[in-house]
């Protein structure tokens, strides 16, 4: 099996300090959290940034500051900026940090209910973001919350808007999308026509750990971190993002799956 790519989503847009006191918010906190996560086995950092007061932002200067700090500590980790932003953010703002040309960026493939909110992704905006990424040489990670979104990706690949190999992230457990039921992951993977695709799973909340283990066994990759889950065990908050990554690395080792270094992850995803 391929080495396991662990992505760490260190901050997110919705998690708060009130709920997770160790949430990294400032550029320095985020850089330290990223460095610890990389030391624990992460090769991709999925990045949302915040203003100092904790508000989510898509401000380019803030992304630049954080990326610089992370790069100074982890020169080869892949940085994947979020173009999802926070629910309700304008599409113009969501696209802005692409100008920094990170290795990767998330691309959300459809509109859906997102908890109590609606996460809008108009078809023309999805195509617009994908085209901009292509123009700038940024590899999209395709965020899939529903089986129909997978079909959207296949259609976009056929139209030449997305270039293969496609890299999917199945985000399961968002209220409004597919749940973290193990059958959902089996179904989504079964829809991939060949094994020329990369896929990972980001389980939300209590689904994070069981889906991660399932993905490891099925040959997929794994995302953990405070964006998706703030607990280590039921009712016990995680101490850090790195603690969540370290558990995945340990389990991978037990299961005989090598954990990818940033270099190996680049090679696998064809990102130089």
Q: How many CA atoms lie within 13 A of 5 on its CB side?
A: 28
Closest alpha carbon to 181 in 200, 198, 199, 206? 206
Tell me if residue 231 falls in helix, strand or coil: strand
Closer residue to ligand KMH, CB minimum distance, 202 or 252? 202
The CA distance from 98 to 81, in Å, is 8
- Binding interface with ligand KMH (CB under 6 A): 13-14, 82-84, 86-87, 106, 108, 114, 119, 143
Cβ-closest position to Zn ion: 82
We find the least distance from the C-beta atom of residue 113 to ligand KMH, in angstroms, to be 11
Listed in sequence order, the residues at least 6 apart from 78 whose beta carbon sits closer than 8 Å to its beta carbon are: 43, 44, 45, 102, 103, 104, 262, 265, 266, 269, 271
In the complex with Zn ion, the residue whose CB is nearer, 221 or 257, is 221
Which of 89, 192, 78, 222 has the alpha carbon at shortest distance from 138? 78
**Which of 87, 127 has the CB closer to Zn ion?**
87
157 binds, among Zn ion, ligand KMH, none (CB under 5 to 8 A by kind): none
Q: Minimal distance in Å, beta carbon 194 to ligand KMH? A: 26
- The reply to whether 208 sits near Zn ion by the rule CB under 5 A is no
Residues 69-108 that bind Zn ion (CB under 5 A): 82
Interface positions, 136-175, toward Zn ion (CB under 5 A): none
């Amino acid at each position: 099996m391929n080495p396991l790519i662990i992505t760490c989503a260190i901050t997110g847009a919705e998690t708060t300090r009130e709920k997770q006191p160790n949430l990294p918010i400032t550029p320095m906190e985020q850089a330290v959290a990223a460095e610890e996560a990389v030391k624990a086995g992460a090769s991709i950092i999925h990045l949302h940034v915040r203003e100092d007061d904790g508000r989510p932002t898509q401000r380019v200067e803030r992304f630049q500051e954080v990326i610089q700090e992370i790069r100074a500590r982890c020169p080869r980790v892949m940085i994947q900026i979020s173009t999802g932003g926070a629910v309700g953010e304008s599409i113009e703002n969501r696209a802005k940090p692409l100008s920094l040309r990170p290795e990767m960026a998330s691309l959300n493939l459809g509109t859906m209910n997102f908890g109590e909110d609606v996460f809008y992704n108009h078809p023309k905006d999805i195509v617009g973001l994908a085209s901009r990424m292509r123009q700038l040489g940024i590899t999209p990670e395709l965020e899939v919350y529903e089986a129909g979104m997978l079909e959207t990706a296949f259609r976009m690949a056929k139209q030449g808007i997305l270039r293969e190999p496609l890299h999917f992230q199945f985000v399961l457990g968002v209220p409004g999308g597919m749940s973290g039921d193990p059958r959902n992951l089996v179904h989504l993977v079964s829809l991939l026509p060949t094994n020329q695709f990369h896929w990972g799973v980001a389980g939300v909340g209590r689904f994070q750990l069981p889906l991660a283990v399932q993905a490891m066994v099925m040959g997929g990759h794994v995302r953990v971190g405070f964006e998706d889950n703030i607990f280590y065990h039921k009712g016990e908050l995680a101490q850090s993002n790195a603690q969540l990554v370290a558990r995945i690395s340990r389990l991978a080792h037990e299961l005989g799956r090598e954990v990818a270094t940033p270099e190996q992850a680049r090679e696998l995803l064809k990102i130089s």
